[in-house]
Structure 1
């Protein structure tokens, strides 16, 4: 997948250099009223376990569901697969308009082993254990076994070939290794006990399999380290707000991020995880949570500030639910995760001539993280009944708006064939999942005229042959703000050259 790192360069055509070198807003742009972050937005926020809550009665806003899968549910032989169970789960979650975050495992304490039977029959060594209340139910395999390594190579390649870029899937975690697929086998980690983790060679091989198989869908792995830091993958902190923040202990999630040199990876690759289960019932209460672990954070906001997390598993919010006293803080915490887009101004000409018109939109990302997928923004015209009569998918990508940044977009919309009359101009970042929620903006005019769309303004399409009001139907104008003439002429020349080059120059880099 390609992820944009800069948006359009037409801001040269939309601003003029003011006295002293400052940049002044151009005339004709209409400010858009801000509002709070919407209750839910796609691919962010708190997430429940799929199938373990009642969608009919749950009232906590969400856009995703979490699902675990044992490898033996789909892998039937060295190169054969039955995707029936996996497909049914994706379809069920998608039927509610939600995307799936998922992980496959071989070893889940207290659950039957997820190791495919053909590997057991082939002589794979497995080790029983009693920790984590397992009592020998699940077993830990020899991850360096050649047959298992070959099977994992085959599985990850097949999973990616079939599902990379599938709009039903939001995030794929590189599980498979360790207890719960969390890439650890503590206390069997070589500290006075056998080390059950795979060799570094095997670990890197599996990670490279995921990178090769999923160039589009976001990948996450549990533990940041110098091995995975150079790879195009994100992370998941499954002990969020307990052992997250930088600490004197040296082993918290952010301690590992610092040691790996990965503290800025969030700008390109997503951070997810799980709000520590023991903290889920109490961390949003006035009394807070007891300290359940020496050096524990018990700090949701601080953990978010350091990690820039986009989503967290928090099943308590869905299965049990928060009290009326605690729910506002829990909702605010969910909304604070990930991106938050606010449109600050729009260019909508008062009068539109026949043939084409220019529409502009300025967007800020006031959230803690980017949006990690290249979803385009569409512009639509609504008639007097509120019906969409013209919709155009622009080349504006919402992923162009980095966290803490503002981008200005301009495009030309073909109005040929629109009957003369008044129209409302709206914008939307559509979800590629059929029935999935669109990205909503933190603006008062979001959903004001039609659900899922941001209202930008109104325009009158002139009758054929009628001339529009001067200065309203073309590109936004340069504003003379006291800059000397030579500066403005130089800027105008630059704009002309940009126009000859196609006006919009997108600067993108390959993520992977």
Structure 2
């Protein structure tokens, strides 16, 4: 029987195709939503040791770690301290910003003990800010090798870990790419220019998912970045640990210029409120800041995603900290939502001051768009097709810890 060639067969086929066409007609979908909380991977940051991390309106916690805490021997890492820290942070529904250092004012060297014990290793103890401080011996090949190996192994273990938002790296005091007070010797207490180049290349090679940042002080002539086009092309972010001091435009901003003011489009920018003057901390979130410019205005100029402000719970109520956190980073707005029984198209804009730096996807009924929100710049909007219909829209990301949620604004009738 060859029914498909009969007129009745053609009618049946036409009706079926018409039904599919009607089912896939996209019609406006009402949606009401509002961003009410500081968004994941953005906002004011507190140290993980601050008691206020349990109640403050934050999404990120900061911690220093030394190489000595993890590297116990040649090729031997004990990840216990890192795991304990990350588990504690995630248990509070937050993510971590970590920084490893080898030199910290007033503390012993953070170089692994087995390296310090080598007979030809020559570490230095000297005054910095009038405090006895351990300085590294970067002339020693084992220290140079071990640090490269360490970050390779760290990336292998944590590059895709949702407990880790961002990683800050560097050398010198607090790993901030300077020794402004103490014995500063390239190739000695501070790595040589060649090794710094090798280190930056290694970071770009091993970290494919987790953004890594260096200090804006790396723009100086003791570092190779500002004059090396190949290094400037690497996808590193920037942090500025004296973000709001009185001479920022004169001292700090030129460093941002040298390292690339458009860098925020591919990697996060952040930092810490200044300690130059007492009011830099006390008035960091005041209406006009400590020096006549509000935090929101200053942050927008540099497209900031996060800012360490560990003292802010002492100076500001939670609502002000939340408000400041909402003023930085990304903020998504659903400008249009249309759907059928089988498909949805969401038009989403970024109303924030920076992109999101991890993959996140609009989703309907658990089905994600194949297009990520990562890289959607401030002021831009884009259509996101989703191969599902009939369910509420959410934004999903594998880079969130349990209890976190990416919110969005929408007012669609």
TM over 0.5: yes
Asked whether the equivalents of residues 347 and 361 of structure 1 are also in contact (C-alpha less than 8 Å), the reply is yes
Alignment partners' CA distance in 2, 1:190 and 1:121: 22
1:285 aligns with 2:270: no
Asked whether the equivalents of residues 26 and 339 of structure 2 are also in contact (C-alpha less than 8 Å), the reply is no
1:132 aligns with 2:132: no
TM-fit CA distance, 1:166: 1.1
Please identify which structure carries the higher helix content. Answer: 2
Alignment partners' CA distance in 2, 1:243 and 1:431: 40
Deviation readout 1:269-317 (Å, 9 max, x if unpaired)? 111111224423213335753x6xxxxx865234313211101111113
Report the aligned-residue RMSD. 2.8
Q: Which residue of structure 2 lines up, in the alignment, with residue 20 of structure 1?
A: none
Change (3 A) 1:436 1:209: farther
1:110 aligns with 2:95: no
Deviation readout 1:306-350 (Å, 9 max, x if unpaired)? 2111011111134x2514xxx55443222111111111121134x
Deviation readout 1:337-371 (Å, 9 max, x if unpaired)? 1111111121134xx4xxxx221211110111111
Deviation readout 1:88-136 (Å, 9 max, x if unpaired)? 11111111121111011111112332111111111322222222242x1
1:233 aligns with 2:236: yes
1:219 aligns with 2:215: no
- Any unmatched runs of 5+ in structure 1? 1-25, 292-296, 381-390, 415-422, 445-455, 458-512
Alignment partners' CA distance in 2, 1:217 and 1:99: 12
Alignment partners' CA distance in 2, 1:244 and 1:440: 36
Asked whether the equivalents of residues 237 and 263 of structure 2 are also in contact (C-alpha less than 8 Å), the reply is yes
Deviation readout 1:407-457 (Å, 9 max, x if unpaired)? 11223327xxxxxxxx6533232454441412111336xxxxxxxxxxx88
Alignment partners' CA distance in 1, 2:258 and 2:399: 37
Alignment partners' CA distance in 2, 1:126 and 1:243: 36
Q: How does 1:426-437 map to 2 (within 5 A)?
A: 426-437=393-404
Q: Which residue of structure 1 lines up, in the alignment, with residue 405 of structure 2?
A: 438
Pick aligned residue for 1:331 from 322, 327, 330: 322
Change (3 A) 1:54 1:288: closer
Q: Which residue of structure 2 lines up, in the alignment, with residue 97 of structure 1?
A: 93
Pick aligned residue for 1:305 from 300, 314, 326: 300
TM-fit CA distance, 1:71: 0.8
Alignment partners' CA distance in 2, 1:121 and 1:434: 40
Asked whether the equivalents of residues 237 and 267 of structure 2 are also in contact (C-alpha less than 8 Å), the reply is yes
Pick aligned residue for 1:80 from 73, 76, 81: 76
Structure 1 length as normaliser, TM-score? 0.67
Q: Which residue of structure 2 lines up, in the alignment, with residue 148 of structure 1?
A: 143
Q: How does 1:294-373 map to 2 (within 5 A)?
A: 299-318=294-313, 320-323=314-317, 328-349=319-340, 352=341, 357-373=342-358
Deviation readout 1:203-256 (Å, 9 max, x if unpaired)? 1122222112211111101124424422111111111122685x3x3x31x211
Q: Which residue of structure 2 lines up, in the alignment, with residue 48 of structure 1?
A: 46
1:179 aligns with 2:173: yes
Structure 2 length as normaliser, TM-score? 0.82
Pick aligned residue for 1:69 from 65, 71, 95: 65
Q: Which residue of structure 2 lines up, in the alignment, with residue 17 of structure 1?
A: none
Alignment partners' CA distance in 2, 1:34 and 1:375: 18
- Any unmatched runs of 5+ in structure 2? 1-24, 220-224
Change (3 A) 1:286 1:94: closer
Alignment partners' CA distance in 2, 1:231 and 1:271: 14
Alignment partners' CA distance in 2, 1:229 and 1:114: 28
Alignment partners' CA distance in 1, 2:323 and 2:183: 38
TM-fit CA distance, 1:179: 0.5
Alignment partners' CA distance in 1, 2:360 and 2:261: 25
Change (3 A) 1:152 1:364: same
The count of residues paired between Structure 1 and Structure 2 equals 375
Deviation readout 1:189-214 (Å, 9 max, x if unpaired)? 769x9984322111112222211221
Q: Which residue of structure 1 lines up, in the alignment, with residue 17 of structure 2?
A: none
Change (3 A) 1:243 1:216: farther
Q: Which residue of structure 2 lines up, in the alignment, with residue 200 of structure 1?
A: 193
Alignment partners' CA distance in 1, 2:189 and 2:242: 22
TM-fit CA distance, 1:64: 1.4
